[in-house]
Structure 1
Amino acid sequence: MTRAERLLVLIQKLRCYRYPVTAAVLAESLGVSKRTLYRDIAQLQHQGARIEGSAGVGYMLREGFILPPLMFSSDEIEALVLGLQWVAQNADEMLGQAAVDVQAKVRAVLPERMAEVLDLPALKLGPSEHQVTSCHLSALRDAIRHQFVVELAYHDQQGRSSSRRIWPMAIAFFDASRVLVAWCELRQDFRHFRTDRIDSLCVHEERYPRHRQTLLHTWKAQMGITD
């Protein structure tokens, strides 16, 4: 294992702890001496990692540190590129462009020895068997982000139309459809709306009263979903 790879593993291990972990435990898990571990901690702190603690007490990684792309492994870059390809092809225009921009930013900071993994990826995304409309996705994503109430004109599978005021929480991307998860004020319960059946929508600058995270936890429990 190279030092760069070891630093990557060390950061990942620190992220798993919500309390200070001693240098002895970290050093043993990495198969290095405590002296080497102290040097690695110092190097990560120099690179901007918010690692707090000291020898004999333990170390803890605070939130906010973004791992430099130069520390990505080849497998991680391939996973990143494949995921970005999928988003560029299957999301709305704004999110697709964001995926293209992310790839360009990663490419700009990668060392040349790793750039080929991104420039000439071994993994390619094939064409989809389903053409799924991305209409309304950008507006819905914005409403979810800000926890805004949305009013929908919607038709069901039988073509019956209805008007709903909803609290949007998440969008599920299936192969043949995109499904909005929301709390429906009319039904006073969670409902799922296929985005291709939304005829029109209006995003109100009115925040719904319950926190989105709380709603999602309740929805997952109701659906029997475990993470």
Structure 2
Amino acid sequence: MREHYRTEGLDEADLAPGPVEQFARWFEQAAMSGLYEPNAMIVSTADASGRPSSRTVLLKQYDERGFVFYTNYGSRKGAELTANPRVSLLFPWHPVARQVIVEGVAERTGRDETAAYFRTRPHGSQLGAWASRQSSVVGSRDELDGLYRELADRYPPEERVPVPPGWGGFRVVPERVEFWQGRMNRLHDRLRYVRGAGGDGGGGAEWTVERLCP
């Protein structure tokens, strides 16, 4: 079960000055290719003792400050990021033989930013954020559906749903960003931006680029 990649390569001369601009280029190309949910990413965290865990989450925003996703702060990933804010994000764009790996430190978004995003969610997703005590054990699907129905009765579509107090965003401030391009004979291109001391993740001056062996 091997695929011989035959896509074009990735050369240092073609890179953007900084990783966010390069990510924007690849993200647009992934979306234009028809890739299903190109904003889906694997978020890997570790608890205070170093035990890792991973799950798929949707990227909701990115800019020079970092990559943002939302979750219940009491979830496993929320608790682990509170204890150990170091995190890895992986965008597995297999149909276009590309991957992007972001390594950095997660910080919580402000409540105003969280509330602004929460208002853009569909009504059902707003209710779901209240109904699910994410990562906790639930007795049955019926119990979960019952909690949702209670909330739907309390907050009909025309009713404003408040932002759950234990729910919000994490912004991953990048320190290393790798762009992986599949090539023939497993000689893939791997170019990694590394942020220098004092860099804020924004422009290109504080970033250096390394080529990694495949």
TM over 0.5: no
Say which structure is richer in helix.
1
Say which structure is richer in strand.
2
TM bracket, shorter-chain basis: under 0.3
Q: TM-score, normalised by structure 2?
A: 0.23
Instruction: Give the number of the structure whose alpha-carbon radius of gyration is greater.
Output: 1
User: Taking CA–CA contacts closer than 8 Å with sequence separation of 6 or more, which of the two structures ends up with the larger relative contact order?
Assistant: 2
Q: TM-score, normalised by structure 1?
A: 0.22
